[in-house]
Amino acid sequence: MLKQRPLAGSFVFAWILLLGSGFRLCAQDQGNDSPLEFKDHERIVFLGGSLFENEMESAYLELAIASRWPDRELTFRNLGWTGDNVFGQARSTYTSPPTPYQQLFQQLRSTRPDYVFLAYGVVEAQKGEAGLDEFTRGLEVIIDSIDAMGAQTILLSTIPVKLAGTPENTVKQNKNLRLYSDAISKTASKRKKRFINLFTPVSQHKAAVYSYNGIHLNEEGYYFLAQVLERGLGWPSRGEKVIVDASGNGKKASFSLEEKMLPLPVPTTGQAARDEAVFVQIRGLKSGNYTLTENGKALVTAPAADWAKGIVLKKGISQTLSAQLSDSIAWKNELFFRQYRPLNRTYILGFREYEQGSHKQGLQDLNILIGRLEQYINQHRKPVRKTYELSPAN
């Protein structure tokens, strides 16, 4: 709900109708759990393949969770590794032991998670039906291990591909990816874990959500995925609707807002999802063009008819804050990446550590930088109160 206060001044101000959206992105076919609520000081870990590694840069999923409770301190560790499978195959290094599989669990344990979002199956699906049992067994081992750590597992489905080389291969791959998605869903039911179906909404989504290679998501894809995730966790959308009746005056309106949480940053190339941003409808205006200012700064100019239909605010202070937050999270993610997958690992942590092992200290020191950034991130998740004024455009 938005907090609103009538402003003093010359404006005649009738009433503002504030509506939280009851919007559902799509029906979840699994797990009608109660909305998931994170508690103060909890640690959330992303473990999987490219779906999570690619998320580090845009940080949509993390931001979606981090901004939901601006007063609760949450920390995140992203252990996504491109090409990985439930056997940690992509975590291989020249130094063995630890084997890639041991690395997987060492890395997971070292993050001390309270919640683990688990996204595997995309790589395994290439083996089709034949690899299904092996995959499920591997997945369950990871779940067992998360259970043993006293943490909660949240399973994510696979996502479909747009183009896997040829059209024929695309059909085949998507069939397999759905098969694995179903298997993950089944495992979730069996193990009584939360499951979020990404496959169906992504396959139904019409916008261009794939990156150049046709198999990974782009920025818009992650923007959309964050929304799917929020619905999957039972969270209401961030969209807020402001309805202002200006019919008393017909020429001016003003209001102030303080959103409950920051919006998801609108992708540079994409449109703001209507239900994810502030939607302003101003009725009763006399015809003509009107400009809405935010803290005195022009934001949108539109004819009265458009204001009456409603306009989505895709820029503004909240968006700026949100974009800054996203940058901070991404930089923090990069620092963590450098710590757990360091350049020159062979010489610092690997079997040639007797040569450059002194630089372990440098990796340790990253904790200080990461900690400071997390502090900064936690302090910059709150929306601020803004004053809006609508007046005829010059």
Partner 1 sequence: MKLISASWPARILVVTTLFAAACSGNQEDRLKNLPEDHPERELASFEIAEGFEINLFASEPMVEKPIQMNWDAQGRLWVVSSTAYPHLKTGEKANDKIYVLEDTDGDGTADKSTVFADGLSVPTGVLPGDGGAYVANSTEILHLMDTDGDGKADSTRKILDGFGTADAHHLIHTFRWGPEGRMYFNQSIYIYSHVETPWGVRRLEGGGVWKLQPKTLELDVYAKGLINPWGLRFDPYGQSFLTDGAGGEGINYAFPGATFVTSPGAERILRGLNPGQPKHCGLDIVSGRHLPESWIGSLITNDFRANRVNRFQLEEQGSGYASKQMPDLLWTDQVAFRPVDVSIGPDGAIYIADWYNPIIQHGEVDFFDPRRDQSHGRIWRITAKNRKLVPKPTLTDDSIEELLDALKVPEAWTRTQARQLLKERGAEEVAPVLQQWISELDEKDPDYERLKLEALWVSQAINTYNGPLLESLFNAKSHQVRAGAVRALQLWHEKTGNLEAILQKVATDPHPQVRLEAVIALRELNNADGAKAALAVLDQPMDEFLDFALWQTTRQLEPMWMASLKSNPDFFGDPAKTAYALKSAASPEAIALLTQLYKEGQVPGQYSQDALSAIAKRGQIQDLNDILDVAIAGFSTEKRDVSAELGAVEAAARQRKVYANKQPGRLGDIIKGPNETSAVAAMKVAGVLGVKSLESLLGSMIGHENRNYARTAMYSLAAINPARAQTLIKRKTAAGNPTDLRIIAVSELAAINAQEAARAGVVLINELDSPEQVPQLFDAFLPDRGRVQALGNVLADTRIPEAAAIAARQHIQKAIPWNRQEEEEVKLLIKGLEASGGVLSTGPMSQDLNASQIKAIAVEAEQTGDPVKGEMVFRRNELTCQNCHAIGGAGGLVGPDLSSLGTSSPTATIINSLIHPAESIKEGFELQRISRNDLSELLGYLVSDRPTEIVMRDVSGQEVSIPKDNIKAWEKVPGSLMPPGLTASLEKQEFLDLVSFLTQLGESGNFRVPSDRFVRRWDVLSASDELTQTFISDGAGAVANDLSLSAMPDYSTVSGVLPLEELPVVKTSSGAQYSFVRFRIEVLTSGEVALDLNDQNGIQAWAEEKEVAFKDGKLVVSLSQGTHVITLAIDRVKREQAPLSAKLIEGSAQARLVMGR
Binding residues (CB under 8 A) for partner 1: these are: 49-50, 53, 81-84, 89-90, 92-97, 122-123, 126, 161, 163-165, 169, 211-216, 335, 338, 341-347, 350-356, 358-359, 362-363, 365-366, 369
In whole angstroms, how close is the CB of 345 to partner 1 at the nearest point? 4
Residues 180, 197: contact at Cβ < 8 Å?
Answer: no
Which residue number, 211 or 281, has a Cβ lying nearer to partner 1? 211
Which residue number, 9 or 357, has a Cβ lying nearer to partner 1? 357
CA 130 distance to own-chain centroid: 33
In whole angstroms, how close is the CB of 71 to partner 1 at the nearest point? 28
Longest dimension (CA), the chain: 79
d(CA 322, CA 109): 31
Please name the residues in contact with 91: beta carbons below 8 A apart, sequence gap of 6 or more: 81, 84, 100, 101, 103, 104, 107
> How many beta carbons lie within 10 A of that of residue 357, not counting itself?
13
In whole angstroms, how close is the CB of 35 to partner 1 at the nearest point? 33
Which residue number, 290 or 340, has a Cβ lying nearer to partner 1? 340
Which residue number, 37 or 129, has a Cβ lying nearer to partner 1? 129
Determine the 3-state secondary structure of 266 from DSSP.
Answer: coil
Which residue number, 235 or 347, has a Cβ lying nearer to partner 1? 347
In whole angstroms, how close is the CB of 75 to partner 1 at the nearest point? 18
Which residue number, 49 or 239, has a Cβ lying nearer to partner 1? 49
Structure token digits, residue 6:
């009538």
Residues 86, 124: contact at Cβ < 8 Å?
Answer: yes
The length of the chain, given as a count of residues: 394
Which residue number, 67 or 328, has a Cβ lying nearer to partner 1? 328
Read out DSSP for 267-305? PTTSPPPGGGSEEEEEESPPSSEEEEEETTEEEEEEEHH
Which residue number, 124 or 275, has a Cβ lying nearer to partner 1? 124
In whole angstroms, how close is the CB of 244 to partner 1 at the nearest point? 41
In whole angstroms, how close is the CB of 32 to partner 1 at the nearest point? 33
Of the candidates 294, 207, 211, the residue with the CA atom closest to the CA atom of residue 256: 294
Residues 120, 139: contact at Cβ < 8 Å?
Answer: yes
Which residue number, 43 or 359, has a Cβ lying nearer to partner 1? 359
Instruction: Compute the half-sphere exposure of residue 75: CA atoms within 13 Å on the CB side of its CA.
Output: 17
In whole angstroms, how close is the CB of 325 to partner 1 at the nearest point? 19
Measured at the alpha carbon of residue 225, what is the angle toward residues 274 and 115, in degrees to the nearest 5? 125
Residues 299, 293: contact at Cβ < 8 Å?
Answer: yes
In whole angstroms, how close is the CB of 178 to partner 1 at the nearest point? 17
Cα-Cα-Cα-Cα dihedral sign, residues 123, 125, 130, 134: positive
d(CA 178, CA 108): 27
In whole angstroms, how close is the CB of 252 to partner 1 at the nearest point? 42
